Structure 1
Amino acid sequence: MNTAAPYSDGLLPVLILHTGDPDEPLRQSHGGYAEMMRHAAGLSPDGVHIVRVYLDEEPLAPSAYRAALITGSPAMVTDLEPWSERTAAWIRQAAAENLPMFGVCYGHQLLAHALGGVVDYNAKGRELGTQTIECLPDATGDALMTGLPTRFPAQLLHAQSVTQLPPGAEALARSDMDPHQLIRLAPAIYSAQFHPEFGPEFMGDHLRQYHRVYLREGLDVDALAAGLGPTPTAASLIRRFLGLCERAGTRSAQRTA
């Protein structure tokens, strides 16, 4: 899909920056990361513009969208792939134009990298499975976090983390292994290291697919699989984010023409 058109009511589409996919068996069973993101956002196919940046597709100007969502990926931000660095440059432009953005996992790290933070391998190791997220003091009063419990489960699947926040960013939630699980980078820019779009079924299939790999890393895969569970609070965040954007004033084709 190479063009973006406004809804019939004049609203601009939501951009999904698609940064990669799971391996083929998982993709066949659960869909690609862009589709998972679209479902988590509650958006119809004609309400999004999916751009496969990892295949060198390029988004339109930030003014063509009302918000942007950035997916996870099997890639590593620290590899500084040309497509990833081009996407980081687009993110900087979008941030300068106050486009609302929400990044997940790789998208979380790419947002931080693009805006002046540091990404590296987590010194505590790989974080995997259904784990507890704990809200931090800066979450109090934050519009996205209002009404959420102070502790909630989320699906985690990452080896790299944001090790240093960008200037002006605030950590809103942590986990036992990562102090930067949820970040507010600007008033309308958020990112999560955890995966709101993953369910326990995907995580279970992933653990079965990579059972031997994780055993070699010293992880207790059976215990991780037994601990998988639903994550309704985490799963609500992307829809909450888009709702927050709409309440703040949705970008329309007429306003941005």
Structure 2
Amino acid sequence: MPRLMIVKTGDSFADVIRDHGDFEDLFLAALAPMAEVGRDLTLTVHDARTEGVPPLPAAEDGVLITGSHAMVSDAEPWSEALKPWLVEARDRGVAMLGVCYGHQLMAAAFGGESGYHPDGREVGTRQLRLTAAGRADPLLGALPATFPAQLTHSQSVLSAPPGAEVLADNDHDPFQALRHGPRQWSVQFHPEFSADVMRAYLAHQREALAAQGEEPEARLAAVAPTPEAGGLLARFAERLALTPSVA
């Protein structure tokens, strides 16, 4: 039975945790349909900040790396320690999906660059586009060519790692989704966020958005469900459960 490890890299806001759950809880909720259809998959959570570098998964296993309020460019010791672990896991063929902080950390670990976006933060329900590679991708190719997703980030992947395929972009960010190998993906958006979680995040960022010339109330009004993007986690886990260690 393949195992799927959720590598926790941060905590959400206190009110989000109270009302909706922390990052790992949102991931586990998104993966609940797997249990409902009887898929054999063992789920574990490992907090890299307090538990150190995780044990290296077996080649047939998978890893999900969560978002965080930390910044990859701050190079915190626990985060830097994950970089060689990610490289070794990738080289072993472990299936991986990084989300937001996980996306930026994977890119930095594999030879790209992550840091503050020169145009500021991107928050809210935004439209993304699949590239030609994205439309042909076995994971992201199930999405529409243009699709809405929930985003909240001030750092981005500034340069993609050598050999990475760009799977999705938008006018703000040319690296919204990357494929780093046969079974290794990362996305800037939050497939685990519901519209209510997105609204809660926007409530925390009104002043920051106004300071960069955006209208927070307009962003709040534009929040909408994103079921296509939200299905990404279950599709990743289903591929792992059905075809372990197969690209």
Tell me whether 1:199 sits opposite 2:227 in the alignment.
no
Aligned residues: 240
Tell me whether 1:229 sits opposite 2:219 in the alignment.
no
Residues in 2 aligned to 1:81 and 1:65: alpha-carbon distance in whole angstroms = 30
- Which TM-score applies when normalising by structure 2? 0.91
Q: 1:187 to 1:220 in 2, by over 3 A?
A: same
Residues in 1 aligned to 2:192 and 2:207: alpha-carbon distance in whole angstroms = 25
Residues 12 and 64 in structure 1, CA contact (< 8 A), matched pair in contact too: no
User: 1:37-86: CA deviations, max 9, x gaps?
Assistant: 12223366x93111111224331122287100000000000001000011
Opposite residue 124 of structure 1, the aligned amino acid is D
Opposite residue 16 of structure 1, the aligned amino acid is I
| Match in the other structure for 2:206 | 211
| Match in the other structure for 2:11 | 21
Opposite residue 104 of structure 1, the aligned amino acid is V
Give the match's secondary structure for 2:243. helix
| Match in the other structure for 1:8 | none
Residues 62 and 95 in structure 2, CA contact (< 8 A), matched pair in contact too: yes
CA RMSD of aligned residues (A): 1.8
Residues 95 and 245 in structure 2, CA contact (< 8 A), matched pair in contact too: no
Alignment of 1:180-191 (within 5 A): 180-191=175-186
- Which TM-score applies when normalising by structure 1? 0.88
| Match in the other structure for 1:155 | 150
Q: Give how far 1:35 is off.
A: 1.2
Q: 1:106 to 1:250 in 2, by over 3 A?
A: same
Q: 1:136 to 1:63 in 2, by over 3 A?
A: same
Of 22, 26, 35 in structure 2, the residue corresponding to residue 36 of structure 1 is: 26
Alignment of 1:100-179 (within 5 A): 100-179=95-174
Residues in 1 aligned to 2:69 and 2:42: alpha-carbon distance in whole angstroms = 26
User: 1:171-199: CA deviations, max 9, x gaps?
Assistant: 01111100111111111000100110001
Q: Which is further off, 56-65 or 194-203?
A: 56-65
Q: 1:209 to 1:64 in 2, by over 3 A?
A: same
Tell me whether 1:80 sits opposite 2:75 in the alignment.
yes
Give the match's secondary structure for 1:63. coil
User: Where does the alignment leave 5 or more consecutive residues of structure 2 unmatched?
Assistant: 36-40
Tell me whether 1:99 sits opposite 2:94 in the alignment.
yes
Q: Give how far 1:214 is off.
A: 3.0
Residues in 2 aligned to 1:145 and 1:49: alpha-carbon distance in whole angstroms = 24
Opposite residue 12 of structure 1, the aligned amino acid is P
Opposite residue 10 of structure 2, the aligned amino acid is G
| Match in the other structure for 2:38 | none
Residues 19 and 53 in structure 1, CA contact (< 8 A), matched pair in contact too: yes
Residues 94 and 245 in structure 2, CA contact (< 8 A), matched pair in contact too: no
Give the match's secondary structure for 1:15. strand
Residues in 2 aligned to 1:143 and 1:236: alpha-carbon distance in whole angstroms = 14
Opposite residue 142 of structure 1, the aligned amino acid is D
Identity across the alignment (%): 38
